[in-house]
Amino acid sequence: MSTPEGRELQVYDPLAVDQPADRSRQPLSASWDPTDDGTGLPPSPQPAAKKRRGLGRFVTAYGWRAYALPVLLAITVLVVVDAVRTGPLPPPSTPGFGALSPKVAQSGIIGAPPGDGKFPADLPLGALPEGGEYVERAAGTWHVVPGTTAQVGAGTERVFRYTVEVEDGIDTAPFGGDAAVAKMVETTLANPKSWTNDPKFGFQRVDAGPADFRLSLTSRQTTRAACGFEIPIDSSCYNADLDRVVLSEVRWVRGALAFDGDIGSYRQYQINHEVGHAIGYHGHQPCETDGGLAPIMMQQTFGTRNNDIAQLDPHGVVPADGKTCRFNPWPYPRG
């Protein structure tokens, strides 16, 4: 089409192929480019008065992210600097277990209940928890549980041969039978958190021939006769005259209120503590670090608070200093 002057007029044709496509009916989509207006065309140049440069343009384009990134960077730098300044945390300490006697006890009762016969009338922590049935009095004789093991531990200074025995008249079926008792003993002593962590010691379970000591599950009254009963708290002990680690069946079944752990952990404590006496750790230990793990040679059956044990034995090795430990069944709990 032309004008009277002969000039061509441009007429808008809605069907022309070179017109921009109608996007009103297209699926919605988002672009990662904050300057994209959705037309697919290059952005129009802004008036000079509205142009932003440097930080202002960055903030306009990226919004809240422009403020968050520097804050996160600053926090990261502070954490790294603090870690370098303070260094690595010291490893947690392992509770001690006293001095090793140069001689294994040949006679006497080691680990008997503390005290001199004078004790408080109320002993709540020494009370027996609710639980399964136990034997009040059995035959006073023991039978060896069949089974042997190879030596565990290096044993550079001493290898202890031991038997596992059950007093005649004790029915072990409710807690797995004689074999389960023996398995608990041998797996406890073979654990690297037990005494074999020290290369001086080795252990071997036997069921015949000479033995250095006999781990003997024992009824209530027989245990009291073998361990003494000046303070009326059921307890285990090592009786060197009998060569027996006397394991109280009452405690094996019920555990102890003061030992705030499961019954399996208590049995491991029972074994490790009394075997500790048998191999030469004759003394008992107090809680060393308030809030830390109790030493294995602490009388955890009576309490994991120094004040409780000091109340039973005011002249003993445990001071009434207010320290409280957490239960611990192992000589080397981080072994």
162 & 228 share domain: yes
pLDDT of residue 233: 85
Instruction: Tell me what pLDDT residue 208 has.
Output: 97
Contacts of 38 (CB under 8 A, 6+ apart): 23, 31
Whole-model pTM? 0.72
d(CA 130, CA 82): 50
pLDDT at residue number 55? 55
Same domain, 301 and 217: yes
28, pLDDT greater than 80: no
Q: What percent of the chain has pLDDT over 70?
A: 68
Residues 127 and 234 reside in one and the same domain = yes
- Determine, yes or no, domain membership for 329: no
Q: With beta carbons less than 8 A apart as the criterion, state whether 293 and 265 touch.
A: no
Q: For residue 104, what pLDDT is reported? A: 86
Calculate mean pLDDT across residues 255-262.
Answer: 88
CA distance 115 to 305: 16
Please name which of 170, 277, 265, 273 lies closest in space to residue 256, comparing C-alpha atoms.
265
Let me know whether 68 and 130 are in one domain: no
Residue with the larger pLDDT of the pair 59 and 142: 142
Together in a domain, 210 and 298? yes
Asked whether residue 206 falls in the same domain as residue 81, the answer is no
Q: Residue 272 above 70 pLDDT?
A: yes
Given a cut of 60, whether residue 217 has pLDDT beyond it is yes
* Whether residues 79 and 160 fall in one domain: no
User: 148: domain range?
Assistant: 109-312
pLDDT (mean) for 298-310 = 91
Res. 245 pLDDT band, cuts 50 70 90:
very high
* 205 contacts 164 by C-beta, under 8 angstroms: yes
In a domain, 42, yes or no: no
Q: What is the mean pLDDT of residues 59-69?
A: 57
pLDDT tens, position by position, 221-240 = 999 999 987 777 899 999 99
One domain for residues 65 and 182: no
Give the pLDDT confidence score for residue 32 in this predicted structure.
Answer: 47
> What pLDDT score does 64 carry?
55
pLDDT confidence of residue 66: 53
> Each residue of 190-214: pLDDT tens digit?
999 999 999 999 999 999 999 999 9
Let me know if residue 21 belongs to a domain. no
Read off the pLDDT of residues 136-190 as tens digits, 9 standing for 90 and up: 999 999 999 999 999 999 999 999 999 999 999 999 999 999 999 999 999 999 9
Provide the pLDDT confidence category of residue 87 given band limits of 50, 70 and 90.
very low
Residue 22 resides in a domain: no
pLDDT at position 121: 54
Asked if residue 91 has pLDDT above 50, the reply is no
Q: How many CB atoms lie within 10 A of CB 311?
A: 19
Q: Count up the domains in the chain and report the number.
A: 2
CA-to-CA separations, 319 to 146, 242, 306, in angstroms, rounded? 44, 32, 6
Residues 213 and 266 in one domain: yes
> How confident is the model at residue 220, as a pLDDT?
96
Asked whether residue 123 is assigned to any structural domain, the reply reads yes
CB 216 within 8 A of CB 274: no
Query: 168 and 289 share a domain?
Result: yes
pLDDT category, 88, cuts 50, 70, 90?
A: very low
Beta bridge partners of 201: 158
Q: Does the structure show a pLDDT above 90 at 90?
A: no
Share the mean pLDDT of the chain: 81
Specify whether 60 is located in the same domain as 142.
no
Same domain, 63 and 163: no
Q: What is the pLDDT of residue 187?
A: 98
From the list 162, 164, 160, 167, the residue with the least C-alpha distance to 144 is: 164
3-state secondary structure of 173: helix
- Tell me 222's DSSP state: H
Instruction: Tell me the CATH number at 301.
Output: 3.40.390
Residue 47 lies in a domain: no
Specify which of 34-38, 77-81, 260-264 reaches the highest per-range mean pLDDT. Answer: 260-264
Asked whether residue 186 is assigned to any structural domain, the reply reads yes
Evaluate whether residue 202 is within a structural domain: yes
C-alpha 187/C-alpha 215 separation (Å) is 13
